[in-house]
Amino acid sequence: MFSSTDDASRALVLFSGGQDSTTCLAWALERFAQVETIGFDYGQRHRIEMDVRQETLREMRAAFQQWRDTLGEDHVVDLAVLGQISETALTRDVAIAYEQNGVPNTFVPGRNLLFLTFAATVAYRRGLNVLVGGMCETDFSGYPDCRDNTMKAMQVALSLGLDQKLRVETPLMWIDKADTWALGESLGGATLTNLVIEHTHTCYNGVRETLHTWGYGCGECPACALRKAGFEKWRS
Ligand code: ZN
């Protein structure tokens, strides 16, 4: 992790419009001279995710003058093909459940490997040399394509395959959700915390009717439960 501005590095942040990737975006904006964002449209069950990410980017630009010049282009990549090669709750209208191995059925096998590869291609074209993602080993779900070793292997594979050093940074890898809230506040103060609460979207069920202290969501799905518990732990 870097502790001061890194002028030689230009970052592409994998940005979904959720709490984690918004925190990662703020983390990158604090460090790098140039930051761009990338999102993947893969026929998510709830269009809200794609709408919210644009709204969150607008709010980031409006609320943080110091980051406005650093925050550059947003790239949206159409990965509708993912819907053709996966049968999960994210792309089909089935209830969220846990498989016998403890992995939720929202899991698209190897999804982050695909995302990182597409991101690396865009980063190369844009002259960006760092990929930043909200992958985390501490989370409940333990997606194997979010693990630290997987990220390190991808960093090596992408750097070799592009014949250019590409760093993969994952600032949330070893922290829990309470610490993610704390990290956000340390980067952007109460303004960023409120932005995360009011604008980001994490709920698997796409619920945005009620604004809770921790944000919008059904409050019941694994993503809401994690976000809510983390918020309460952080505030206690
Ligand atoms: Zn939910």
Which pLDDT value is given to residue 69?
94
Q: pLDDT tens per residue, the chain (236 residues)?
A: 444 556 679 999 999 999 999 999 999 999 999 999 999 998 766 678 788 999 999 999 999 999 999 999 999 999 888 777 766 555 556 665 655 544 555 557 788 999 999 999 999 999 999 999 999 988 655 678 889 999 999 999 999 999 999 999 999 999 999 999 999 999 999 999 999 999 999 888 888 888 999 999 999 888 899 999 999 999 99
Which pLDDT value is given to residue 113?
94
Instruction: State in Å: Cα 217 to ligand 1 middle.
Output: 5
CB 151, CB 31: distance < 8 Å? no
Complete domains list, the chain, with CATH:
8-235 (3.40.50.620)
DSSP string, 30-68: HHEEEEEEEEEES--S-THHHHHHHHHHHHHHHH-HHHH
Query: Of 115, 148, 108, 114, whose CA–CA distance to 12 is shortest?
Result: 115
**pTM flag (> 0.85):** yes
Instruction: State in Å: Cα 145 to ligand 1 middle.
Output: 22
Instruction: State in Å: Cα 80 to ligand 1 middle.
Output: 23
Instruction: State in Å: Cα 140 to ligand 1 middle.
Output: 15
Q: d(Cα 97, Cα 95) in Å, to the nearest integer?
A: 6
Instruction: State in Å: Cα 220 to ligand 1 middle.
Output: 5
Strand, coil or helix: 97: coil
- Beta carbons within 8 Å of 118's beta carbon, 6+ residues apart: 38, 40, 77, 79
